[in-house]
Structure 1
Amino acid sequence: MRQLYHLLISPACRKVRLALAEKNIGFELVEERDWERRHEFLALNPAGEVPVLVEEDGSVISGGMPICEYLEETATEMPLIPGTAMDRAETRRLVDWFDRKFAAEVSDGLIFEKVTRRFLGASEGGGAPDMGVVRAALHNLRYHLDYISYLMEERRWLSGEEMTLADLTAAAHLSCLDYVGDVPWTQFPGAKDWYVRIKSRPAFRQILADHVPGMPPTKLYANLDF
């Protein structure tokens, strides 16, 4: 069976997991703490970063978006970047929004400070979170939730009338923050309604079952009626 090297609280890894599940593609999860820079893992991906997908024939694809584009080209039954050229451009714009802008302004900082630091040694940057970074990220998060709510005023899903890779990407980022209880959903009902719908999809069940050792999720994380 194909293998996905991943981290539990990683938006890029979760995006790939959701894409694989939506396309009904079987896979085995292999946890990889990429900061340990294992020689065997570096042989798969010299960049030393997850996610990495190893196909049944041994072929290796690295990186969240390259893997998703590969799946889109090889498993066409359930397209995640559907529609016209303009439709696909809008989907890719929003994927880029969350993978680049949202990551830089919100998720990268929060995940590192609240999750990754717990598993690093003192010489690697472990220790207490930098609350200045946390506060800035939480402030920026509100702007992005407001943007999702704005999009939901005119659309059923983020990029249009169909669920796409844009929704999976945004949900991958937000689910990581939801795990640690940092998303003020009640203040952004439009964003909350969208998240309830995507959280209720069968592909999301594996994500809601995640449990980081020594760091349980918040009570509402796996609750579909929150």
Structure 2
Amino acid sequence: MNRLYHVPLSPFCRKVRLTLAEKKIEVELVEERYWEPSPDFLRRNPAGKVPVLRIDGRVMSESQAICEYLEEVVPTPPLLPRDPDARYEVRRLCAWFDDKFQNEVTSKLLYERVNKKVTGQGYPDSKNVKAGSSRIKYHLDYMAWLLDQRRWLAGDVMTLADFTAAAHLSCLDYISDVDWNRHIVLKDWYAKIKSRPCFRTLLADQISGFPPAAHYADLDF
């Protein structure tokens, strides 16, 4: 049985979960306390990070590398376009969210509000939370600007860029840190993603001590 070692509110794990589900690859989800790494987990990934995917006898780490591998071995439905310029744009946006958005927003909001308590690292740093709450507005504006010109973030078809962005925003939406009323085009985009079958397991996630926002699993939010 294929296995994904993950943390429910990790955007990197969620990106892989969305890709697996979209391509109808069945996996067993195994929650991993990466902050208390076991010898077995460190053998799977000496970096001590999730996600880790065990599939077809292989053990893989790093979310972008995993998703691109899955795209190559299960090309349908496609999440990367064939045109080199279009593929570049998808990869650029994946990096934008997994690097810039992660550092400026996700790590300042989700990690401060949830991860610190879960991992026993203390209380949220109010300066970081304030910085994340301010910076997310810029990113939402940028996404809306893209969607004003395109059907999806990277072009006219849904791609891995949309899953990467949705993975981050879904984590923040769990704790009600996304102002969906800021841009109707962005809310419409997320509603389309959220309604896909691949999103169902994400909407069922429950974190002990942190109930989801009332609208989190509502498709008509």
C-alpha distance in 1, partners of 2:118/2:107?
Answer: 16
SS state at 1:211 partner? coil
Unaligned 5+ runs, structure 2? none
Aligned residue number for residue 77 of structure 1 = 76
Letter in 2 for 1:196: A
SS state at 2:149 partner? coil
Aligned residue number for residue 176 of structure 1 = 171
SS state at 1:4 partner? strand
1:152-185 CA distances to partner (integer Å, 9 max, x unpaired)?
Answer: 1111100011100000000000000000000011
Runs of 4+ in structure 1 deviating by more than 4 angstroms, as ranges, are: none
Aligned residue number for residue 155 of structure 1 = 150
1:38-53 maps to which residues of 2 (within 5 A)?
A: 38-53=38-53
SS state at 2:29 partner? strand
Aligned residues: percent identity?
A: 54
Aligned residue number for residue 7 of structure 2 = 7
Kept in 2: contact 1:198–1:204 (CA 8 A): yes
Instruction: Report how far residue 83 of structure 1 moved.
Output: 3.2
Instruction: Report how far residue 66 of structure 1 moved.
Output: 1.1
TM-score normalized by structure 1?
0.96
Letter in 1 for 2:43: A
Instruction: Report how far residue 56 of structure 1 moved.
Output: 3.7
User: Which one is further off, 72-81 or 136-145?
Assistant: 72-81
Instruction: Report how far residue 74 of structure 1 moved.
Output: 0.8
Instruction: Report how far residue 189 of structure 1 moved.
Output: 1.4
What root-mean-square deviation, in Å, do the aligned CA atoms of Structure 1 and Structure 2 show?
0.9
Aligned residue number for residue 97 of structure 2 = 98
C-alpha distance in 1, partners of 2:100/2:123?
Answer: 25
1:98-144 CA distances to partner (integer Å, 9 max, x unpaired)?
Answer: 011100110022121111111233xxxx2221111001001100000
C-alpha distance in 2, partners of 1:159/1:151?
Answer: 8
Instruction: Report how far residue 26 of structure 1 moved.
Output: 0.4
TM-score normalized by structure 2?
0.98
1:59-74 maps to which residues of 2 (within 5 A)?
A: 59-74=58-73
Kept in 2: contact 1:6–1:51 (CA 8 A): yes
Aligned mate of 1:142, from 133, 137, 154:
137
User: Which one is further off, 153-162 or 111-120?
Assistant: 111-120
